[in-house]
Structure 1
Amino acid sequence: MSEPRTERFDTRTQFQQELRSLLARARGTLDLFDPDFALFTLGTPETESELRRFLHNGGTLRLAMHESGWLERNAPRFLRLLRDYNHRIECRVTPRGLRQLTDSFAIADALHVVRRFHSDHLRGAAAFDAPDQADLPRERFNVIWAESLPGLHPTVTGL
């Protein structure tokens, strides 16, 4: 493990750059939470390629969200990835009681985290090789995950 590194960001470009860096470092687990994933570039060729590498090498991806509509309408590459690797990807939708949660974060291997403090804003921080920085978001994700229900499916019928 390298020395811990923390970077602050406040632009879309910086956020997406830190997110790409997190995806490139991911080896075993990726846990992502966002209200709709509109800023996560899950539908771009670069992200699809990185996620395909991650999943092909045995990684597991969990997404928790309030609404899946944005991904369904705007991320056909991600939906194809979901079909191809549905045994390694699970998506859940939060119940009404959790819809007030407004932060957004991605955690890789319980070591790296990229977090926006509020999903309506781009201000946030990324921490790499910093398990202590990933602990709180990881615990938060596990609580959200436990309360959420299966959501986005590989096909329209959910099969």
Structure 2
Amino acid sequence: MTPLLFDTLEQYRAQVLVALAGAERTLDWFDPDLAGSGAEAPACAEALHAQLAGKQLRLRLLLHDEAWFVRHCPRLAALMQVYGHLFELRLTGEADREAGEPFLLTERAVVRRFHADSPRGEAAGPGRAHAACRQRFGDLWMQAVPAGAGRRLFI
């Protein structure tokens, strides 16, 4: 698949929805805080709900800071309550808090922005960018700590 370049947040959000719809088993999403990703939109929550409910998709969300998620993504927090066995949120460690590139990975696609402060990026299939993001996510995930947001203890 030839990479599809995008230059605006609207195009990025559209590619995120395409990738969400195409995910089969795993969805790994790294973003500093999800601001600008469209994660707060009803369309994103509906797409994730359909995937979590229908295919037993495993969603791993990795953030630098959960404050924006807590304030602006109540639909995703609700999904985490219902599908807590399939939806995990972790926070990167202090050493890994440099800006980096936000990306969303599925088995067959990657949607990434070249820098967190820029809307420019690409959507691509398996290849170097996919492999590099997969490796980066794995490294960050191993060092990350579970987040407290959205978890009820029911005590």
* Category of TM-score, reference length = shorter chain: over 0.9
Does structure 2 retain, via aligned residues, the 8 Å contact 1:28–1:60?
yes
Identity %: 32
Q: What residue number does 1:145 align with? A: 141
Code of the aligned partner of 2:142: A
Q: 1:5 to 1:89 in 2, by over 3 A?
A: same
Q: What residue number does 1:65 align with? A: 63
Does structure 2 retain, via aligned residues, the 8 Å contact 1:86–1:154?
no
Distance in 2 between residues matched to 1:157 and 1:39, nearest whole Å: 30
Q: What residue number does 1:52 align with? A: 49
Code of the aligned partner of 1:122: P
Distance in 2 between residues matched to 1:91 and 1:136, nearest whole Å: 21
**Structure 1 ranges of 4+ moved more than 4 A:** 156-159
SS, match of residue 77 in structure 2? helix
Matched, 1:28 2:37: no
Q: Structure 2: where are the runs of 5+ without partners?
A: none
Matched, 1:155 2:151: yes
What is the TM-score with the length of structure 1 in the denominator?
0.90
Aligned residues: 154
Q: CA deviation at 1:143?
A: 0.1
| Counterpart mapping for 1:9-158 below 5 A | 9-56=6-53, 57-109=55-107, 111-128=108-125, 130-155=126-151
Q: 1:29 to 1:92 in 2, by over 3 A?
A: same
What is the TM-score with the length of structure 2 in the denominator?
0.93
Task: Report Cα offsets for 1:20-62 as digits up to 9, x if no partner.
Answer: 1111111110000010011222222211111011111110000
Q: 1:137 to 1:158 in 2, by over 3 A?
A: farther
Does structure 1 retain, via aligned residues, the 8 Å contact 2:70–2:77?
yes
Task: Report Cα offsets for 1:122-153 as digits up to 9, x if no partner.
Answer: 1111103x244311100100000001100144
Distance in 2 between residues matched to 1:71 and 1:156, nearest whole Å: 16
SS, match of residue 119 in structure 2? coil
Match of 1:6 among 3, 9, 12: 3
Distance in 2 between residues matched to 1:14 and 1:103, nearest whole Å: 16
Distance in 2 between residues matched to 1:140 and 1:84, nearest whole Å: 28
